[in-house]
């Protein structure tokens, strides 16, 4: 069972880490491109790259947008699985207990940093940019948008907290406390608590991936229906 926990947590962490590094790379590229000096050689290289990308986009435009969205979603979800499959045998030698392993704890730290970086460096700036643009048109509408936006953020935090509480209580209710106090020793009780904690961890991870993958699918499909170029950019970003 611990192997299942390791597989699911590794999939979630690798997916979040890749998404975080893509966001950081995007910001670095934007910063460098804003301060770069235009030379003739770089212009010719950019022209060559633009020509190749245009030909590639034109080739993909021949296919149906729904099929492109389905293929892109499949590729995105396959990358973490391939990483997990290629590194599982190596990690199995070093990870004996998923609760005390330094490697797993380090992966949790990377996951936390990826999510925090995504929120403060990607989501919040995008929200504020939209509010500032709306403020130039109508101040009252901008204030309403500001209130609604951060109200939804707080509602999402509270919703996730309640889900975690409900799942933890659901799995912990399966213990027989009367028998545990009389017959089971302290080691068995701790083992049961560890198993219930692992079950709740897997459930929360799967639920989080469910919402995340669902929104990714909506974004990819809608952008491919609008434009093939925009759909490819969204697929890379996801």
* pLDDT tens digits in sequence order for the chain, 238 residues long: 445 444 545 555 555 555 544 554 444 444 444 444 344 444 444 555 566 667 667 777 777 777 888 888 888 778 877 877 777 777 766 666 555 567 777 777 777 777 777 777 877 777 777 777 777 777 777 788 778 878 887 887 788 778 777 777 776 554 444 454 544 555 555 555 555 555 666 666 677 777 777 877 888 888 888 777 777 777 777 6
Please report, for residues 5, 162, 210, the alpha-carbon distance to residue 166 in angstroms, rounded to integers and kept in the order given.
19, 6, 17
- Tell me the C-alpha to C-alpha distance, in Å, between residue 187 and each of 44, 196, 198: 69, 14, 16
What pTM, to 2 d.p., does this model score? 0.49
Q: Name 11's Cβ contacts closer than 8 Å, sequence gap at least 6.
A: 80, 81, 84, 209
């Amino acid at each position: 069972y611990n192997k299942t926990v390791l597989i699911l947590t590794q999939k979630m962490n690798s997916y979040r880490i890749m998404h975080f590094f893509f966001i950081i790379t995007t910001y670095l590229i934007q910063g460098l491109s804003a301060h770069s000096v235009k030379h003739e050689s770089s212009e010719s290289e950019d022209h060559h790259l633009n020509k190749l990308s245009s030909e590639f986009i034109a080739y993909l435009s021949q296919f149906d947008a729904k099929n492109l969205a389905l293929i892109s979603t499949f590729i995105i979800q396959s990358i973490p699985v391939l990483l997990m499959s290629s590194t599982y045998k190596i990690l199995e030698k070093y990870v004996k207990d998923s609760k005390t392993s330094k490697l797993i704890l380090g992966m949790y730290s990377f996951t936390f940093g990826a999510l925090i970086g995504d929120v403060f460096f990607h989501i919040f700036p995008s929200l504020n940019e939209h509010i500032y643009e709306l403020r130039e048109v109508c101040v009252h509408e901008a204030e309403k948008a500001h209130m609604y936006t951060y109200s939804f953020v707080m509602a999402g935090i509270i919703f996730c907290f309640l889900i975690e509480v409900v799942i933890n209580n659901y799995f912990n209710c399966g213990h027989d406390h009367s028998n545990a106090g009389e017959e089971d020793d302290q080691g068995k009780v701790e083992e049961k608590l560890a198993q219930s904690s692992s079950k709740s961890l897997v459930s929360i991870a799967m639920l989080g991936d469910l919402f995340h993958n669902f929104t990714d699918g909506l974004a990819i499909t809608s952008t491919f229906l609008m434009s093939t170029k925009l759909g490819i950019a969204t697929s890379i970003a996801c």
